[in-house]
Chains A and B, each alone.
Chain A
Amino acid sequence: MTQRKPLSRFAADTALMTYVALLMAFLYVPIWVLIAFSFSSSRSLTWPIPGFTLDWYRKLFANTDLQAAVVNSFYVATFATILALIVGVAAAMALHRLNFPGKTLFRRLILLPITLPGIVTGISMLNMFRLFGFNPSLETVILGHATALLGVVVTQVFARLQRLPRSLEEASSDLGAPPWKTFLLVTLPNIRSAVIGAGLLSFVLSFDEIPVTFFLTGRDNTLPMYIYSTMRRGVTPEINAVGTLIVLASLVLIILSVLLSRDRSPR
C-alpha cells in the first residue's frame, strides 16, 4: 500500500502534465507556425521552411492599402472604445446607484448586444442608418462597435461597483465632496482597473471585429476586412507577417493591461 501510493501519484501527475502540455500546444502551436511561416523564404507553406527572409515584412511596409486598413482599424477601435467607456461607465453608475422602474429591463437591454450575433446587430444598424440617411462609413462602424461593446463595459464596471463598499462614496459626501467630485476622486480611482480592463478588451474586440464592420463600413476597410478579402486568394506569407505583428501588439497590450490595472493597494 505504502509503496503503491507514490507510484499512482506519479502516474496521475504525469497524466496531468501531459494533458496541460497538449492543451498549451493546441492553443499556441498555430501561433508559432504563423510566426515561423512569416519568415519563410518560400511562398508556399512547406515545413520545414526552406530559408529565412524579412521580405514579407518589407512588402508589408510598402503596401499602402494594408497600411490604410491598419490606420482605419486603430481609428475605429480607439473611438469605439472611448464611446463605449463613456456611455458604459455612466450606465453602470446608473444601474448601481439609482432605483427606477424598469431597471432590470434596462440592464437586460444593455447586455443584449453581447448575446446578439454580430450579423443581427450589423443588419439592424445598417437598416437604421439607411432610414436616417447616413451613409455607411468608418463612423457608422464606430457607432456599431460601441453598441456591441457597451455590454462588455457595463458588465465589468457594474461588477466592480457592486464590490465597492457603499460607505466609501458616503464618506466622501460626508467629508464635503459634491457628487461629481466623489465620482472623480473616490469612485473612479476605485473602479479604475475594471475600466482599464474593459477598455482594453473592447479595443481588442473592436480591432478584429468582422460581422458588424462588414455591414456598416463604406469604402474604407479595417484590417480584419482587408485580411479576409486578400485571403480569398489564399494565405500569403504577407498575411502571416501581419498576423505576427498583431500577436506582438497584443502581447504589448496584455502587458500594458496587467501593469495598468494592478490595484496599488492589495485588497
Chain B
Amino acid sequence: MAAIIELQGISKHYSRTIIGVDNVSLSVEDGEFVTLLGPSGCGKSTLLRMIGGFEAPTHGKIRLAGQDVTHVPPYRRDVNMVFQDYALFPHMTVGENIAYGLKMLGKGRDEARRMAAEALEMVGLADKIDQRPMQLSGGQRQRVALARAIVRRPKVLLLDEPLSALDARLRDQMRIEMKHLHEKVGITFIMVTHDQEEALTMSDRVVVMEKGRVAQDGRPQDLYDHPASPYVANFIGTTNFLAARRSGAGVATAAGPLQVEEAVDMPDGAEVTVGFRPEKTRILAPGETAANALPARIAEVIYYGLGLRITVELADGAQVHVDTLLPDTLARSDVPRPGTPVTIAVEPHNIFVFPGKVVV
C-alpha cells in the first residue's frame, strides 16, 4: 500500500520561543486508521489542522497522494474534517448540510440530495434529512458531521476530538460505529484525541505526541507492551515506576533486586527507572515463591467492580499499584486488609527499563 499522507519535517513555530509542532515526520498508509494521541497543547490538533490546510507549517512539506499540498487551501484539498464542535451550518437542514460539499463538487441538486440521503442512511439518520441541526441530539449531530465529510469520498478523513462532546455511554457506542464506518468506506482516517482508551480501541496505529514531537508511533498493542519512554508508559495505561541502578543481569531497587529481560546497554551502577503495569503485578499466595518477589505491606484497597486495585507499600516506602480481577468465589473475608504483610512479584519480561532517573 502506498502512503496517502506524508509529513516531512513539519514544524509550526508561532514565535521564536513558542513552538506548536516540532519537526514531525509521519507517513500514513492508504486506508489506515491513525490516531494522534497526547495531552492538550502537545501539537496534535495543530498537526491535524495543517493536514486539513487551515494552518500552514513554518517548515516542512505535506504530501497528499504524492502531491505537495503544503500551500494548497482547504477548499482545493481532497481531505475532509469532522470538527470538534461539528460545525454544522445552523441555517441549513441536515440534508442541505450534507449536500453542501457535493454541490461544490458540481453535483446537481437532485443527485446531491440523493447522495445526502444515502449518506444519512449509512449513519442511521435517514428520517432527519429535513430537520435542522439544532433539533438533533449531540450524537445525531456527530453522525451528520461524519456523513457530511464522508459523502465527498475524500482521500483522507480528519477527526478532531470527534467524541469529546458526547456522554460516556454514547461515546462507547460511537467508537464502535466509527470503527465499522472506517472498515466500510475504506477511507484513511486520522483522528486526534487525548483519550488513550479511544486511541487504543479504534486505531490501527497510534502516534503519541509530546511537546510538539512524536514520542512513539506504533500499533496499540506495541505501545502498551513496549512503551519507548516513561512518558508513553504513563500516558497509555497505568505504570508503577521505581528508581533503580543497573546491577549484574538485572537492576537493584531500594526495595530489592529485580531480574529484567529488556536489554539495556548501560554500565553497572548506571541510574535507570523500571516500570511495570499494575495488572501484570501479582500478590503471591502464602508460601508461593516466584521470581522478582518483593516484600510489601497493603496500604489501600479500592473496589472498582471488575476487580480490586490494591496499593502496597514496599520496604523503602515506595507505593505500587496491583490490579486483580475478583474471582467470583472470593469471600468478603478474603479481601486483603490494609496493614497485612504480603509479597508481590512481576515476571521479568513484564518489566520496562528506561535509562536515567525519571520523575513522573
A interface residues with partner B (beta carbon < 8 Å): 165, 167-168, 170-179, 181, 185-186, 189-190, 264-267
Say if the beta carbon of B105 comes within 8 Å of chain A: yes
Q: Which residue of B lies closest to A188 (CB)?
A: B91
Given contacts A174-B81, A265-B134, A266-B134, contact A189 B91 (CB under 8 A): yes
A residues less than 8 Å from B89 (CB atoms): 168, 171-172, 186, 190
B residues less than 8 Å from A170 (CB atoms): 54, 74, 81, 83, 87
B101 and A176: CB pair below 8 A? yes
B75 and A190: CB pair below 8 A? no
Identify which of residues 96-125 in chain B touch chain A, using a CB-to-CB cut-off of 8 Å: 100-101, 104-105
Q: How far is the CA of A116 from the CA of B81 in the complex (A)?
A: 47
Q: How far is the CA of A267 from the CA of B90 in the complex (A)?
A: 9
B interface residues with partner A (beta carbon < 8 Å): 52-54, 73-76, 79-81, 83-85, 87-91, 100-101, 104-105, 132-134, 148-149, 152
B134 and A175: CB pair below 8 A? no
Q: Which residue of B lies closest to A167 (CB)?
A: B87
B85 and A177: CB pair below 8 A? no
Q: How far is the CA of A171 from the CA of B54 in the complex (A)?
A: 10
Q: How far is the CA of A175 from the CA of B88 in the complex (A)?
A: 11
Neighbour of A190 across the interface among B52, B79, B91, B152, CB < 8 A: B91
A175 and B91: CB pair below 8 A? no
Q: Which residue of B lies closest to A189 (CB)?
A: B91
B90 and A173: CB pair below 8 A? no
Smallest Cβ distance from A167 to chain B, in angstroms? 4
Q: Which residue of B lies closest to A185 (CB)?
A: B100
Most chain B beta-carbon neighbours within 10 Å: one of A165, A170, A175, A185:
A175
A265 and B152: CB pair below 8 A? no
B87 and A165: CB pair below 8 A? yes
A–B Cβ pairs within 8 angstroms, 24 of them: A165-B87, A167-B84, A168-B87, A168-B89, A171-B87, A172-B89, A173-B74, A174-B52, A174-B54, A174-B75, A174-B80, A174-B101, A175-B80, A175-B100, A175-B101, A176-B76, A176-B105, A181-B104, A190-B91, A265-B90, A265-B91, A266-B134, A267-B90, A267-B134
A175 and B90: CB pair below 8 A? no
B74 and A174: CB pair below 8 A? yes
B residues less than 8 Å from A186 (CB atoms): 89
Smallest Cβ distance from A193 to chain B, in angstroms? 11
Q: How far is the CA of A189 from the CA of B54 in the complex (A)?
A: 22
Q: How far is the CA of A266 from the CA of B52 in the complex (A)?
A: 30
Neighbour of B148 across the interface among A165, A168, A175, CB < 8 A: A175
Q: Which residue of A lies closest to B133 (CB)?
A: A265
B75 and A173: CB pair below 8 A? yes
Q: Which residue of A lies closest to B98 (CB)?
A: A175
Q: How far is the CA of A177 from the CA of B80 in the complex (A)?
A: 12
Q: Which residue of A lies closest to B90 (CB)?
A: A265
Smallest Cβ distance from A29 to chain B, in angstroms? 42
6 residue pairs, one from A and one from B, having the closest CB atoms: A176-B104, A175-B101, A167-B87, A171-B87, A173-B74, A189-B91
A177 and B104: CB pair below 8 A? yes
Neighbour of B81 across the interface among A168, A171, A178, CB < 8 A: A171
Q: Which residue of A lies closest to B105 (CB)?
A: A176
A176 and B85: CB pair below 8 A? no
A residues less than 8 Å from B75 (CB atoms): 173-179
B residues less than 8 Å from A165 (CB atoms): 85, 87
B83 and A167: CB pair below 8 A? yes
Q: Which residue of B lies closest to A181 (CB)?
A: B104
B91 and A264: CB pair below 8 A? yes
Most chain A beta-carbon neighbours within 10 Å: one of B75, B83, B84, B152:
B75
Smallest Cβ distance from B218 to chain A, in angstroms? 29
Q: How far is the CA of A185 from the CA of B54 in the complex (A)?
A: 19
A residues less than 8 Å from B104 (CB atoms): 175-177, 181
B residues less than 8 Å from A189 (CB atoms): 91
B residues less than 8 Å from A181 (CB atoms): 104
A176 and B87: CB pair below 8 A? no
Most chain B beta-carbon neighbours within 10 Å: one of A168, A172, A173, A189:
A173
Smallest Cβ distance from A6 to chain B, in angstroms? 42
Smallest Cβ distance from B72 to chain A, in angstroms? 12
Q: How far is the CA of A265 from the CA of B101 in the complex (A)?
A: 21
Smallest Cβ distance from A264 to chain B, in angstroms? 6
Most chain A beta-carbon neighbours within 10 Å: one of B53, B104, B133:
B104
Smallest Cβ distance from A10 to chain B, in angstroms? 42
B residues less than 8 Å from A177 (CB atoms): 75, 100, 104
Q: How far is the CA of A175 from the CA of B101 in the complex (A)?
A: 5
Most chain B beta-carbon neighbours within 10 Å: one of A165, A167, A181:
A167
Smallest Cβ distance from B160 to chain A, in angstroms? 9
B152 and A175: CB pair below 8 A? yes
Smallest Cβ distance from A44 to chain B, in angstroms? 56
A172 and B90: CB pair below 8 A? no
Smallest Cβ distance from A190 to chain B, in angstroms? 6
Smallest Cβ distance from A7 to chain B, in angstroms? 46
Most chain A beta-carbon neighbours within 10 Å: one of B73, B79, B83:
B83
Q: How far is the CA of A267 from the CA of B84 in the complex (A)?
A: 18
Smallest Cβ distance from A105 to chain B, in angstroms? 22
B152 and A176: CB pair below 8 A? yes
Q: How far is the CA of A167 from the CA of B54 in the complex (A)?
A: 10
| Additional A-B contacts beyond A179-B75, A264-B132 (6; CB < 8 A) | A170-B54, A171-B81, A173-B53, A176-B76, A264-B91, A265-B133
Given contacts A171-B83, A265-B132, contact A190 B74 (CB under 8 A): no
Q: How far is the CA of A265 from the CA of B96 in the complex (A)?
A: 15
Smallest Cβ distance from B200 to chain A, in angstroms? 27
